Structure formats: C-alpha cells, structure tokens
A and B are shown apart, each in its own frame.
Chain A
Amino acid sequence: MEMRMIAEGAEANIYSCSFVGMRAVAKRRVRKEYRIGSLDMYLRTHRTKVEARVMLALSGRIKMPRVLAVTADTIYMDFIDGRRLSTLPVGKGIEAYLVESGRWLAIMHDSGITHGDFTPANIIVWGGAAYVIDFGLSYFTDSIEDKAIDLLLMKRSVNKELFSVFMRSYDSAAKYSRPVKERLADIELRGRYQSRSLATVRS
C-alpha cells in the first residue's frame, strides 16, 4: 500500500493512503528515540488500542472519521477532506460549527469519554458539518475533572463570545453538565492557573 506522509505530529504521523480503493488516512505511532524501548512500545500500542476503542464506541453517534482497520501501531480511517476549524476565517459561520462541536463533546462526555485535546484544531469542517478528529488523547472515564479540562482547552483556544456559544450548546445537550461547569470554574480559580493567557495557534 502506498503511504504518503501528510502530517508529522508529536505523537503520531498521518499518512494518506488508499484502502481497498478508497481514499483513507493512516495514523501511525512511530518509535520515539528519546524514550526507552519498553516505555515507547507500551505507549504506542496502548494508545493505539484505546484510541481505536474510543472511535468504535463513538461511531455513528457523532460526526467523525470511521475506523477501517487497526493494527498494533496504526489506525486506518476515513479521509475527511475539509479544513480545520482553527484555520477558518472569522465570520465563516464559525458559531454554527461550535454549536455542533458543543453537541459532539456533550455526547462524548455522556458516553463516558473525554477527548483530551478538544480544540478548533481538532475539528474539521467539511460539507457544512463539523467532524471531530484526533482521539489520540481520548480515554474512557467518568472523572468530572477530566471533562472540565476538555472545556478548559476549548476555552483557552477561542474568544469569550465563541466559547459561550459553544458552552450553551454543550449545556443543553449534555445530561450532567452542571458538575462539569462547576469544576471548570474551580480549576480556573486554582491560583497557579488564574492568569494563564489564551493560547495562540500559528498554523
């Protein structure tokens, strides 16, 4: 199978490939020379396994790439041919996509899953819909704290108005949003993080 690298990440490389004649994406966790072999092998296989499980559990419930095949270190999935929400110019209907994203995160949380890196860089806009991608840091948990951190990451990535649009949608879709919102306020009050400035992402 011909694989062409389209993105080099900190954790995994993304390749474009064809899967039984269909355009697909392969996400492969490659060896990191900086860490010892046993830890490296554990992280790569364990994370690939968890990511595949998360994706399969969410399949059909939110808009996201479908899993086509899984090996020890690689997940083959649908190619989502759009652009990242983080690169969309202001005024291109960003609000509507954030409303949709808020609903997807609510469904994830209600399914006992946290995303782990829920920012506009991990939402792809395609055919008028918002697709959630990169479940590389996702896992199964009912921890309120972990869910609140999902919200915190989004809050740090967009401005106040956009975040409140996102939150309203999350709030109305999630079954148990109140403790998560309270925890978010709590985390922000912890001295160390009060003044943390907004992340600015250069693409």
Chain B
Amino acid sequence: MAVIGIESSAHTLGVGVVADGRVLANEMRMYPITDEGIIPSKVADFHVGNVRKAISSALRKARVSLEDIEAVGYTKGPGLGPCLGVGNLAAKSLSMKYGVPLLPVNHAVAHLEIAKHINGFVDPLALYVSGGNSQVIGMEGEPFRHYHIYGETLDIGVGNMLDNFARKAGLVPSWGSTVAKAAEGGRYVQMPYTVKGMDFTFTGLLTNAVAQLNEHSVADVAFSMQETAFSMLCEATERALMLTNKRELIVCGGVAQSKRLREMLLSVCEAHGIRFGFAPNEYNADNGAMIALVAERMLESGQRYAIGDCGINQRYRIDSVRITWR
C-alpha cells in the first residue's frame, strides 16, 4: 500500500509516492520562468496540462497502480490560489474515484518533516527558507503540539529577494544559484543589516543592493547582498537555538539548496555542538514526495477529513497545524 502526494503551490507541479516513509517516486514538472516572473493563472494552466502525465509517470516509477493507493495528500497551502486549486482538484478526483481518504497538507510542515525524517532528527529547530517564506520554526506543546514560529521575515521571503535582484541585475536564469555564481570573487560593500530579535526584513536590503549596482560591480553587490542576508538568517537562527535549547538544526525550502547558507549554518552549529542536517536538493525544491510523506503520517495518526473540508488556504500558517504524529 502507498500514499500519493500532489504539490502545486507555486511554479513546480510535483507528484510523489511514499510507502512506510520510503519515497518510491518523486516526479516534478517546473513551469519555465521568464523575466515576467510568475503569473499565477499562467502557471495554473501549465499545471492543468501536466498533472495527468505527472501522476501516471510517478505511479509508473513507483511500480504502483492507482488501486494500490490507500490515501491521497495534496498541498492545502500556503501558496498561489490558482496553482493550489489544480492540485486540490486532481487530489479530490483521485480520492473520490478510488474511495480513499483525502488529506490536506501544509506545505511548510512538509518541507520540515521530510528533512527531519531523512536526517533521523527528533526535535529540531528549522530554518525554512524559500521564495515566499523565511521562518525559524520549532515544535512546541501548548495549547496543542504545533510548529511555533520563533522568528520570520517581516516583509518578503529571502528567495524572493534573490530572484528579484537577479532580474534587476540582468542575471539569467533569475534565481538564487545564479546570484551565488555572480557573487564569486566579489568584495564586501556595506549594506543595511536588519534583525529585530528573531525577525528580519529583506526589502531594504534589496532596494539598497539594486541602487549599489550603479557604483559597484555585479559581483561585489551580489556577494555583499548574499552575505548580509544569510548572516541575518544565521543570527536569528542562533538566537532561537539559544532560546529553545534545541540540539538539532535543519535547513529546508528552496534556498536551503545554497551551499554558502549551509556552510554558514554548519559553522553556527559547530560553535554550540549542535547537529546540523538538510535534505537532498530534490526535497528542498517543491515536491510531491514530502506531501505524500506527511499525508501518510496524518493517515497513520488517525486524521480523516470530509471532502467538503478539503479546500485550499493561500495563507495556511504552519503554526495553525495540529501535529498528531511523532
């Protein structure tokens, strides 16, 4: 028996198959981003055109037939409404056609859980960094077991900042790894560094970096912006580690693919004797396997939902999710 998970919160459509915590398939179709960025309705059209093929190819890779599926998980949110809608509809159809439970999964919980699972961690602090989100998260018990947000961005996600900078600086493709490549050999120029307790902001840094392109090389600006942003994230994370006394740290989400960020977080952990881990890149990109993994946990811990309660929520916050599994 296996659980299928459908992820469609942003530009990537993902379908994963999981059985007993083991990933059998993790298929992805990514909307080709142009310089206009992401237009939700266009991405949704892309997902509609690909969801069928993605499901069948995931099942083929997993060597599982639809009759063997015991539950269907989908991303309830957070994400872009039109995109979430596609995964929601596909999941509902499967669930109704095959008469199996449907499970609404929180996207952030899924990124965190798969990294935790792969590293065999028990109670980690997590730095969740993606295009739309940047949060420092950890499990708390009151009033119910949930992932508490210790600190987060007060404006945009760090990934959004990197992508936006790439577009303004004419770097193609416009995402974080391109900025990282452009930053090689750059020298530090001063930029605004904003940490408020365990919260942080990125728009001031972005505006300043774009303005500095007039006076400094792209390499210097890219380097300084990246170093400043990642140092801010490390400081907030280190403060949360001190506050919570947690002994494990994971980094997850799209920006967790950054080698430099990983290296910096490892340094934070080494200074305090804390275990550090992250998932392979395919699980830091948006993917269906993580949705299937959490859906399986929800199923095993007894969660059941009426189909009428399985909608989408663009602002589905991680701290509102009840965690019923260990």
Contact = CB atoms under 8 A, between A and B. Distances in A.
Interface of A: 8-11, 32-36, 38-39, 42-43, 116-117, 137, 146, 149, 153, 191-192, 195-197, 199-202
Contacts of B195: 137
Interface of B: 140, 142, 146, 148-150, 152, 188, 190, 193, 195-197, 227-228, 231, 234-235, 238-239, 241-245, 264-265, 267-268, 270-272, 315, 317, 319-320
Given A137-B196, A153-B197, A202-B245, A33 B148 contact: no
Given A116-B196, A197-B148, A39 B188 contact: yes
15 contacts: A10-B239, A32-B268, A34-B234, A34-B271, A35-B234, A39-B227, A42-B190, A116-B197, A146-B196, A192-B317, A197-B146, A197-B148, A199-B150, A202-B243, A202-B244
Contacts of B148: 197, 199-200
Given A10-B241, A197-B149, 14 more contacts: A32-B234, A32-B235, A33-B270, A34-B234, A34-B264, A35-B231, A38-B188, A39-B227, A149-B196, A192-B152, A195-B319, A196-B149, A197-B148, A197-B319
Contact of B227 (A11, A33, A35, A146): A35
Contact of A39 (B196, B231, B271): B231
A133 B319 CA distance: 30
A200 B246 CA distance: 13
A24 B46 CA distance: 65
A36 B227 contact: yes
Given A39-B228, A192-B315, A202-B244, A33 B267 contact: yes
A88 B196 CA distance: 25
A202 B195 CA distance: 22
Interface of chain A, main secondary structure = loop
Given A10-B239, A10-B241, A34 B150 contact: no
Contact of B243 (A43, A149, A192, A201): A201
Contacts of A146: 196
A9 B272 CA distance: 11
Given A10-B241, A34-B234, A34-B264, A200 B142 contact: yes
A35 B190 contact: no
Complex A-B, nearest 8 residue pairs according to Cβ-Cβ distance, in ascending order: A10-B239, A34-B267, A10-B238, A34-B264, A35-B231, A38-B188, A195-B317, A197-B319
A35 B265 CA distance: 10
B101 to A, nearest CB: 26
Nearest to A36: B227
Nearest to B190: A42
Max chain B C-beta neighbours (<10 A), residue from A10, A117, A137, A146:
A10
A129 to B, nearest CB: 25
A11 B267 contact: no
A35 B264 contact: yes
Contacts of A195: 317, 319-320
Nearest to A7: B242
Contacts of B267: 33-34
Nearest to B151: A199
B267 to A, nearest CB: 4
A135 to B, nearest CB: 13
Nearest to A30: B271
A126 B140 CA distance: 31
A117 B196 CA distance: 8
Contacts of A42: 190
Contacts of A200: 140, 142, 148
